[in-house]
Structures are given as structure tokens and as C-alpha cells.
Amino acid sequence: MKIPVVENVLKLNDEIARQNRLAFEAAGVYVVDLIGAPGCGKTALLEATLQKLGGILEIGVIAGDPATSRDAERLAGYCDNIVQINTGNGCHLDANQVRQAMGRLDIASLDLLFIENVGNLICPVGFDLGQHSKVGMFSVCQGADKAAKHPYLPLVAAAILLNKIDLLAHVPFDLQQFRADLKRINAAAPLLEISVIQNQIAPWLNWLTHACTGRGEHRAPEYQPGVAES
Ligand SMILES: Nc1nc2c(ncn2[C@@H]2O[C@H](COP(=O)(O)OP(=O)(O)O)[C@@H](O)[C@H]2O)c(=O)[nH]1
Ligand SMILES: [Mg+2]
């Protein structure tokens, strides 16, 4: 008897992601997968972005969290096209979950779709969702070593956000070290230093508007263990 072997557990995900990408292209929507640790400010950034760009662009959000619909409730004040996915003990969103959420959104009406991934710096990185760009988010509260310790995210990201720079005067954070680590890991990804709470998000809005207009898919390099180690 020939026993079938699944060579790559990501293959099925990749196939669904490919279909998602085709559907996004057909709908003319630019899709950003936002990845960062719990509490770095992902939802706060989306709230601020919706406030700034909501009148100019049609924006939707798929919000992923292990439990609760609190992020969706926060965002619902600024946008109608929103779906919350609860992953339970799952540590990332996969392409099939996004596909199901797409069925509950009017994606043809959207210019821009954000996927707020589950707060995690590792698992969401390896799962293609059909997005155009994965964007990595850090905050100064996490410590300056986090990009170096979690290089997979900055390596595949089209852009890196460093949030909460309003706290630089209050928490120990070696900004030069953080910048140098990112340059070594992925010199091509712009570092966008922002403070959502102080409404200093212009670098992000500029990058986003440019990415959205260019509509190019960001092709991440293959992760090679050791490449980012100091
Ligand atoms: N000091 C400061 N706090 C922020 C900033 N952005 C977000 N926060 C706070 O960080 C906490 C976590 O934010 P949230 O958006 O829920 O993070 P998420 O888990 O990544 O979605 C909240 O208490 C926010 O008010 C910022 O720029 N500066
Ligand atoms: Mg959130």
C-alpha cells in the first residue's frame, strides 16, 4: 500500500493564499498583514489610520486574536467592513481563516484591507495569507534587542514600525542598536519610527499610501537560519 505523505504542511496554506491573492487582485484591494507582539500598538495604529485615511480610502479590517472581539469593537467605530477571528489556542492566522473572513466582507468595495495578526513574532511570519505586504511592528517597551532576537519578522517584512517613541525618555531603549540590527537583518525595509498616542504616524501613512498606490506585492526573501545573527 502506498501511503501518502504530506511533504510540506504549508503547501495547502500556500495554495489557499494563492487563491486569496487572486481574489484580492480581482477586487483591486491592497492587503497588509500587520504582525507584532501583544500590546505593541497594532489596534491603536489601525484606529489612527482609519481616522486619517478612512475618508479617502475604503478600508476593511480582519482582526485576529485568541479570544474576545475587543479589537473589532474598537475598530468598528471607524469602519463597517470588519471581521474578528478568534483563533483559540492558535498562535497565528492562516490563509483559510482569512478566506472565510473574506466571505463576510465586501472586498470589491475596498481599496485597502488590514489583517491584524495574532500577537506573536514568530508563527504569523511563516504563513502566507495572500497579502501584498507583511509589516512588522515593535515598540520601545519591548527592549531594543527584540529585532535581533526575532529576526524572521524583520527579514520578511516590507516595512518595520517602531511604536511608542514618546516613551524613549522613560524606558531604557538603545535606539542606535535597534536601528543597526534592522539594517543588518534587512537593509531594504524602511524603519518607521512612530508614536500612535501622540499622533506621530506620518512615516507610516506615507509608506502605506505609496505601497497602496504602487500595488506591488512585496516578495520576501527566504529565511536562512544564521543570516541575521550577530
Ligand atoms: N505610550 C504609548 N502607548 C501606546 C502607543 N500606541 C499604543 N499604546 C498603548 O499600548 C497599549 C496596547 O495597544 P493595542 O493597540 O491594544 O496593542 P495590540 O495588542 O498590538 O493591538 C494600549 O494601552 C495603547 O493605548 C504609543 O504610541 N505610545
Ligand atoms: Mg490588537
Q: Where are the domains of the chain?
A: 17-212
Across 56-64, average pLDDT: 96
For ligand 1, pick from 65, 74, 121, 196 the residue to mutate: most ligand atoms within 8 Å of CB.
Answer: 196
CB–CB of 211/158 below 8 Å?
yes
Q: Which ligand is nearest to the CA of 47?
A: 1
C-alpha separations of 146 from 45, 150, 182, 195, 216 in Å: 20, 6, 10, 18, 28
Across 204-216, average pLDDT: 87
> What are the DSSP calls for 69-80, one per residue?
SHHHHHHHTT-S
pLDDT computed for residue 176 by the predictor: 98
Across 181-205, average pLDDT: 97
Determine the Cα–Cα distance for residues 207 and 44; give it in Å rounded to an integer.
18
**Is residue 230 very low, low, confident or very high in pLDDT (cuts 50, 70, 90)?**
very low
Predicted confidence (pLDDT) per residue in 136-190, tens digit = 999 999 999 999 999 999 999 999 999 999 999 999 999 999 999 999 999 999 9
Angle at 137 between CA 135 and CA 140, to 5 degrees: 160
Q: Which ligand is nearest to the CA of 36?
A: 1
Residue with cell 500500500: 1
Ligand 2 centre and the CA of 37: distance in Å?
A: 9
pLDDT of 8 over the 90 cut? no
pLDDT computed for residue 214 by the predictor: 76
Name the residue with higher pLDDT: 61 or 220: 61
pLDDT of 216 over the 70 cut? no
**Is residue 215 very low, low, confident or very high in pLDDT (cuts 50, 70, 90)?**
low
Q: What percent of the chain has pLDDT over 90?
A: 87
> What are the DSSP calls for 150-219, one per residue?
STHHHHH-SEEEEE-GGGTTTS---HHHHHHHHHHH-TTSPEEE-BTTTTB-HHHHHHHHHHHHH-PPP-
**Is residue 225 very low, low, confident or very high in pLDDT (cuts 50, 70, 90)?**
very low
For ligand 1, pick from 197, 199, 201 the residue to mutate: most ligand atoms within 8 Å of CB.
Answer: 197
Determine the Cα–Cα distance for residues 49 and 68; give it in Å rounded to an integer.
22
pLDDT of 223 over the 50 cut? no
Ligand 1 centre and the CA of 40: distance in Å?
A: 6
Angle at 37 between CA 170 and CA 121, to 5 degrees: 130
pLDDT of 45 over the 70 cut? yes
pLDDT computed for residue 178 by the predictor: 98
Which of 101, 43, 99, 39 is CA-nearest to residue 75?
A: 43
| Global pTM value | 0.92
pLDDT computed for residue 1 by the predictor: 75
Neighbours of 39 (CB within 10 A): 13
Please, which residues have CB less than 5 A from ligand 2, an ion?
42-43, 71
CB–CB of 56/211 below 8 Å?
no
Neighbours of 189 (CB within 10 A): 20
Any idea which fold 17-212 has? Rossmann fold (3.40.50)
Ligand 1 centre and the CA of 96: distance in Å?
A: 28
